[in-house]
Amino acid sequence: MKTIKNSELHVLYGLIYKPELAKSEYVDPAWFYYQPFATLVSYINKLDTAPGYVLLRNGFEEEHPHAMRSEDWEAIEQSDETTASFGPWLHVLKREYNRDQVKAAGVAYGKDPSNDNYQALLEAVERFNGVAHNDDPGESLDDYAEYVRRRVERGDVVRGIETYPQLDTLLGGGFLPSTMVTIGARPGVGKSALAVNLAQLALQKNKGVSIDMFSLEMSANSVNRRLLAAFSGIPSQKLINPTLTLSPEDITYVQSIADKMAGYDFRVYDSRVTLPQIVQVIRRRVAAAKHGYMAIVDYLQLIKIPGTGKGTDQRYRQIGMITGELKRLSNELEIPIIVLSQLNRRVESQDVKRPSLSDLRESGDIEQDSNTVGLLWSRTPLAGEGEQAVNVPDVRDEVLTIAKNRDGELGEIRFAFDAPKMRFRPTL
C-alpha cells in the first residue's frame, strides 16, 4: 500500500464514524493523495443520510466492490483519533494539498515561465496562505506537556463512574470516559448479575448518571427484577410472584425500594439486537444525559449486523466490526461502555477454572479493542455447567481477574456472590 498521510487517515476516521461532518464542512476528494480514499470521500459526499460505520462500509463496497482493500479500512480504523479532532486535521489536509499545488505550480512555471503559469503560481500561493495561519494539532511531547500544564492550571480532573472501590482503584478512578471494558465469563457464573450490580452501584454513587443496559438474552422485566433484588436483598425468585411469596411487610418494603429506583435514569432495551440500533440509542441518550452516561451490553456474541453473511469466518469478522464500532463510539462520545462476552468451553475442562485472555470467544479483536478486560470465574466447584449445574451453593466464591488494563493496574477482586439475591459483595 502506498504511504498515506496521517491527515488523510484522521479526516477519514471522522467521516466514516460521523458522516454528517461532510455536511457541515466541505471535504474535497481532490485533497486526498491516495485514490481509494478519494473515491470513498466522493461516496460520502453524495449520501443524503448519515449511516453508521457498518452500513456505510457495506453500501460503499456494494457500489465500489474493489475500490478499497481490507488493509485500507484497517488503516483508518487504527488511526487512534476521535471525531473531535476532525476540524484541526481537515485544516492540515487542506494545507498539505495547497502546499503541493504550490510546488506543482512552481515546477510548471520553471519549465514554462508564461503569464498563465505565473498567474497559476500566484493563485496557488494565495490559496496556501489562506489556510496556513492556523496551528497544527499537537503531536510532540512538548505539545502534550503543555496540554497537561493547562489542565493542571484549570484543576481539570477526569472522573470515572464509581462502583466497587476495589475496582475503581484498578481502573484508575472508576469507569473512565473513552473506555471499553469487556467482562468475560462462562454461562452460569454470573456475568449478567455482576453487570446489574455495577449498574446498581453506579446509580447510587453517581448522582444523576444515565445508564442503559442492552439485554440481548434476558427480558427487560428479568433485568429489572434482578436489579430490585440487588437493591432490596429479597431473593429474585420471590419477586416473580410477590403476592404469593412475600409477606405484607415485605411487599411494603419492596414497593418503597421500587419507588426509589423509579427516580434513577436506568433503562433496559431487550429488543434492540442489531449494532446500528444499539449505536443509535447510545447516541440519542448521550445527547440527553446531563450527569454522565454508561452503556452495558449483555452480551457481545448475540449482537447482529444486518446485511452480513453467516459462517464461522464471517462471524469472526462481525465480532471485529462490533467491538471496533463500540470502541470508536466510546472514544467519540467520551463515555464508558461495558461489554459482556462469552468464554470458550475449554475453560470447563481445566482443573482450575481460572481463564486467560485467550479464552475469550473470538478473542483477537475483543482483546485488541478493549481498554480493559476482566475475567469472571468461580472458585466454588460446580457440578455441571450453566443452567445444567447442580448442587450449586447459594453463596459462591468468585473472582474478577483484571487481565488487561491499558491505562491502569492488573489485579484480582474476590467476591461472595449471593445468587438468589443477585448480590456481589467484595471480600478480603
Residue range 5-52, pLDDT digits in tens: 788 888 888 888 887 777 767 788 989 988 999 999 999 888 877 777
Banded model confidence at residue 375, pLDDT cuts 50, 70, 90: very high
136 and 181 in a single domain? The answer is no
Q: Provide the pLDDT for residue 316.
A: 75
Contacts of 218 (CB under 8 A, 6+ apart): 192, 226, 270, 298
| Of the residues 76, 108, 141, the one at which a domain ends | 141
Q: How many folded domains does the chain comprise?
A: 2
Which pairs with CB-CB distance under 8 Å and at least 24 residues apart come from 77-81? 77/13, 77/324, 77/328, 79/6, 79/9, 79/10, 79/12, 79/13, 81/9, 81/10, 81/13, 81/14
Contacts of 4 (CB under 8 A, 6+ apart): 33, 34, 37, 75
Report the chain's C-alpha Rg in angstroms: 26
DSSP H stretches of helix in 273-340: 275-288, 312-333
Q: Provide the pLDDT for residue 39.
A: 93
The three three-digit cell numbers of residue 89, written as one number: 486535521
- Amino acid identity, residue 340? L
How many Å apart are CA 26 and CA 131, to the nearest integer? 14
How many Å apart are CA 376 and CA 183, to the nearest integer? 7
In a domain, 413, yes or no: yes
Q: Provide the pLDDT for residue 137.
A: 42
pLDDT, tens only, 72-81:
898 888 775 6
Query: How large a percentage of the chain has pLDDT more than 70?
Result: 82
From 61, 63, 217, 249, the catalytic residue = 217
> Domain range spanning residue 120?
6-141
- Any catalytic annotation for residue 217? yes
Q: What is the CATH number of the domain that holds 111?
A: 1.10.860
Q: Residue 272: is its pLDDT beyond 80?
A: no
55 and 176 in a single domain? The answer is no
pLDDT, tens only, 385-414:
544 455 678 889 999 999 898 877 889 999
Mean pLDDT of the chain, nearest integer: 81
Q: What is the pTM of this model?
A: 0.65
249 and 385 in a single domain? The answer is yes
282 and 322 in a single domain? The answer is yes
Closest CA to 171 of 283, 289, 294, 82: 294
Q: Provide the pLDDT for residue 413.
A: 94
In a domain, 148, yes or no: no
Banded model confidence at residue 156, pLDDT cuts 50, 70, 90: low
